[in-house]
Structure 1
Amino acid sequence: MRMRKKYDLIVVGGGVLGTFHAYHALEQGLRVAVIEKDKRPQGATVRNFGQVVPSGMNTKWQEYGRESLNIYRQIQDRFDISVRHNGSVYLASNEEEVQLIEELSSINQKNGYTSQLLTRQECLEKYPGLKPGYVKAGLFFPDEVTVEPRVMIGRLLQYLIKEKGLDYYDSTHVLNCAQVTGGVSVLTSKGTELEAGKVIICCGSEFKTLYPQLFAGSDLEVTKLQMLQTVPQPGYELKGSVLTGLSIRRYEAFYECPSFAAIKAREVPDSFEKKWGIHILFKQAADGSVIIGDSHEYARAADADDLGFDLRTDVDDFMIIEAQKIIALPSYEIQNRWFGIYSQCKTQDLFQHTIDGAIHIVTGIGGKGMTGSAGFSKENIKRVFDLK
């Protein structure tokens, strides 16, 4: 006889989007389970920089990101999930980029989001090793934070299990979701049958397996990103997230700047950095190593395997050369290289679809996950459960 257990909510997928849905449901006093197909999350949640940067988002998602900052801090005050309050900076390398950060500063003033324009000298004093020949000015966001992604999600789940009563089913696949009287029945690969009033599916692979036709008809695409990690840098401190000129030319927040379209139109269309979607970011990890990246290679979600599992050495080499033009780290010896893959939608912010009023598919948050998931999930739980 199958074990049957009843919940208010079952979340499929223990990544950052799924786990924050669970967090907010638990905060509302609901009985919650998370089902994760791996022993611990292995996807985009643990294969990114760990930057929480609402500054890079458009106005709508910046609101979610700013709420995320509050949530990260609230949790960190209660339980160490690796949050460091160390700010973010965008470094402009020419007059066009200076114009963009000045325009974004004005937008932030109207939005009530704190930022500070830095002179070239202030940037050089604040960020050791920054090359005088590169930087013209900077835009600093003091309220932004960083996390250690491979640490954060595990600790957050641990906190929810120990302190909030979350039931966590790891190494477990969902074989079937079916509406039953009063909710949804979920059959797992371990022979467990769980029931819940609502199910939220935040895992792209489980979405593909459970609802293949819906998945095939979606506008989801996948992005492959390459990143590098130096050896630890003893005696060297690079605070916060450092985003540079190529980031200014890619991040959504800058699309709202009056000069953005004209500046983008003047870029060389067949440049190597545009072909591989490269922008140079730096973030120092807790062990003193520096993470550098990243690149972007795209494919339809149905064709994700076409991206392959190899790392392009020409992309890595290009990122290192460009990084060396910006910051003189004590060492550029690389100890680790990896890629991450995340899904996103071509025509909307993320993929949302409801089946039978009780099964909610929410996925494809793309590069907004670490920054936007906490804030978005808070609003979405209220919507799903019709809470005030």
Structure 2
Amino acid sequence: MTPIASAPRIAVVGAGIVGLAHAVAALDAGYRVTVVEQDSAAVLASVRNFGHVGASVQAGELRELAEESLPIWHSLVERAGVEARRSGTLVVARSAAEEAVLHELMGRAPERARLLSGAETGDALRLDPSVRPRAAALLPDDITANPRTTVARIAAWVDAHERGEVRFGTTVHAVETGARGGVEVVTSRGALEADHVVVAAGHLLGRLFPEVAERGGVRECALQMVRVRAPHAMGLGPAVLTGTSMLRYGAFEGPAAEALRAELARDRPELLEIDANVMLTQQDDGTLLVGDSHATHDTAPPFLDERWSQLLLDEAAALLGARRLEVLERWQGVYAASDRRRILRESPVPGVTAVSVTTGTGMTVGLALGARTIAALPAAGRASAVPPAG
């Protein structure tokens, strides 16, 4: 058995979900791991989202990664105390066009998925009998995590591991070939030598590797979200998607979704204008995370448009049969976006992997992406002789 001090070291730049995913996978593979994060805690995309691990609504490579991520999520509930549960996803249809999308979806949905009637949908959301959607698809295997605590708990687990550490409040200035053949991470607290470096800086990738970000078309997607008090007792149910969600996720693609898009363009153009994804997740404290709008920028302005927020709130209130929703918090999310690649993976310097999820699905696919990256490292650099993390 190789001593811990002799195990190869991986440095990870960024303590968001994608960076920590690589750290967890590297520890499980037997590496020594150092995570470097510029802020004193993760404050960007990984804490500003719904906490929805929506594997069942993805398609293609994203679907594969999402499904591979699910068991890793369950393992982190046990190992790291992550607040996550198998909530399922309820995709609600309130119009004939939306219901047609669900019927099309069910032809290729996961085996345990089922179509609910309007009454069953109302019961699932504990709606007043006077409020009845047309139907819903229940996709039972998806996960809802608490986005406020998840990355902090994973980071704490990494830092407590005998081969792991997390250095918060440490800015990375450069990642370059080291004098002794490895890779050197130049930080505000000194240099760090590693055998391999993973740069998982999200939309900030261009600050270290601007050419990589430019080739990948990486921009900033700004979104508006709110936390509201549930208008009635809802229990702790599934994540809820709506008709606008059907236009954003690959699993819904098809003629029915295009017909729905045309209907919304005619009847509700304001929802397409803000690129809305009207959805919500239910949290342990009885609140709902509601959103969201999307606008892409080279650098996202910090300003929130109250009209956009009100559109989202009105849609969510109508879904839940409420006159209005009591807002507790508002915030802006920012994540990496690209119309060229769904996932950016490049090696800008020997021994360095730059990786960014550019679809806003980091919580959904990130854990498997980290596992794949670590598994693909050259055999000469693997830590196979070191026992995996327990």
Alpha-carbon shift at residue 232 of structure 1 (Å): 6.2
SS in 2 for 1:62: helix
Percent of aligned positions that are identical:
26
Alpha-carbon shift at residue 258 of structure 1 (Å): 4.5
The code of the aligned residue for 2:31 comes to: L
The code of the aligned residue for 1:365 comes to: T
1:136 and 2:162 correspond: no
Tell me which of 180, 195, 203 is aligned to 2:201: 203
Alpha-carbon shift at residue 32 of structure 1 (Å): 0.8
SS in 2 for 1:74: helix
Tell me which of 221, 224, 244 is aligned to 1:223: 221
The code of the aligned residue for 1:47 comes to: R
Question: Residues of 1 paired with 2:230 and 2:256: CA distance?
Answer: 39
Aligned CA distance change for structure 1 residues 21 and 98 (closer, same or farther; 3 Å)? same
Tell me which of 309, 319, 326 is aligned to 2:312: 319
SS in 1 for 2:223: strand
SS in 1 for 2:366: helix
Corresponding position of 1:47: 48
Residue pair 1:284, 1:291 contacting (<8 A) in 2 also: yes
Tell me which of 122, 125, 142 is aligned to 1:124: 122
Question: Residues of 1 paired with 2:229 and 2:260: CA distance?
Answer: 36
Question: Residues of 1 paired with 2:81 and 2:75: CA distance?
Answer: 10
Tell me which of 366, 369, 385 is aligned to 1:373: 366
Residue pair 2:118, 2:132 contacting (<8 A) in 1 also: no
Corresponding position of 1:166: 164
Alpha-carbon shift at residue 92 of structure 1 (Å): 1.0
Q: Which whole-Å deviations, capped at 9, do the CAs of 1:291-346 have from their partners, x for residues lacking one? A: 211111112xxx21xx3111111011111111121103597111111110001221
The TM-score, its normalising length taken from structure 1, stands at 0.90
Aligned CA distance change for structure 1 residues 124 and 231 (closer, same or farther; 3 Å)? closer
SS in 2 for 1:107: coil
Alpha-carbon shift at residue 357 of structure 1 (Å): 2.7
Tell me which of 257, 261, 278 is aligned to 2:258: 261
Tell me which of 325, 329, 332 is aligned to 2:325: 332
Task: Tell me which moved more, 237-246 or 160-169.
Answer: 160-169
Residue pair 1:238, 1:283 contacting (<8 A) in 2 also: no
Question: Residues of 1 paired with 2:129 and 2:34: CA distance?
Answer: 50
Question: Residues of 2 paired with 1:347 and 1:170: CA distance?
Answer: 32
Q: How many residues align?
A: 374
Alpha-carbon shift at residue 87 of structure 1 (Å): 1.3
Aligned CA distance change for structure 1 residues 52 and 105 (closer, same or farther; 3 Å)? same
Task: Tell me which moved more, 340-349 or 37-46.
Answer: 340-349
Task: Tell me which moved more, 171-180 or 321-330.
Answer: 321-330
Question: Residues of 2 paired with 1:368 and 1:178: CA distance?
Answer: 29
Question: Residues of 2 paired with 1:207 and 1:150: CA distance?
Answer: 23
Corresponding position of 1:287: 285
Aligned CA distance change for structure 1 residues 364 and 374 (closer, same or farther; 3 Å)? closer
Question: Residues of 1 paired with 2:15 and 2:61: CA distance?
Answer: 25
Q: Where does structure 2 lack aligned partners over 5 or more consecutive residues?
A: 1-5, 385-390
Alpha-carbon shift at residue 382 of structure 1 (Å): 1.0
Alpha-carbon shift at residue 187 of structure 1 (Å): 1.4
Question: Residues of 2 paired with 1:43 and 1:279: CA distance?
Answer: 19
Question: Residues of 1 paired with 2:202 and 2:68: CA distance?
Answer: 25
Alpha-carbon shift at residue 7 of structure 1 (Å): 5.0
Corresponding position of 1:64: 65
The code of the aligned residue for 1:372 comes to: V
SS in 1 for 2:149: helix
Corresponding position of 2:246: 248
Corresponding position of 2:375: 382
Question: Residues of 1 paired with 2:99 and 2:162: CA distance?
Answer: 46
Alpha-carbon shift at residue 138 of structure 1 (Å): 0.8
Aligned CA distance change for structure 1 residues 232 and 120 (closer, same or farther; 3 Å)? closer
Corresponding position of 2:387: none
Tell me which of 286, 295, 298 is aligned to 2:296: 298
Corresponding position of 2:3: none
Corresponding position of 1:88: 89
SS in 1 for 2:316: helix
Alpha-carbon shift at residue 160 of structure 1 (Å): 1.7
Task: Tell me which moved more, 52-61 or 193-202.
Answer: 52-61
Question: Residues of 1 paired with 2:296 and 2:173: CA distance?
Answer: 29
CA RMSD of aligned residues (A): 2.3
Q: Where does structure 1 lack aligned partners over 5 or more consecutive residues?
A: none
Alpha-carbon shift at residue 10 of structure 1 (Å): 0.5
SS in 2 for 1:259: helix
Corresponding position of 1:344: 337
The code of the aligned residue for 2:265 comes to: V
Question: Residues of 1 paired with 2:31 and 2:239: CA distance?
Answer: 36
Question: Residues of 2 paired with 1:37 and 1:131: CA distance?
Answer: 50
Corresponding position of 1:185: 184
1:33 and 2:49 correspond: no
Question: Residues of 2 paired with 1:34 and 1:226: CA distance?
Answer: 29
SS in 1 for 2:81: coil
Question: Residues of 2 paired with 1:72 and 1:249: CA distance?
Answer: 26
Question: Residues of 1 paired with 2:184 and 2:281: CA distance?
Answer: 43
Q: Which whole-Å deviations, capped at 9, do the CAs of 1:117-153 have from their partners, x for residues lacking one? A: 1111211111112675551111111111111111000
Aligned CA distance change for structure 1 residues 74 and 225 (closer, same or farther; 3 Å)? same
Q: Which whole-Å deviations, capped at 9, do the CAs of 1:169-209 have from their partners, x for residues lacking one? A: 1100111222134320111101x221111111010465322
Aligned CA distance change for structure 1 residues 204 and 125 (closer, same or farther; 3 Å)? closer
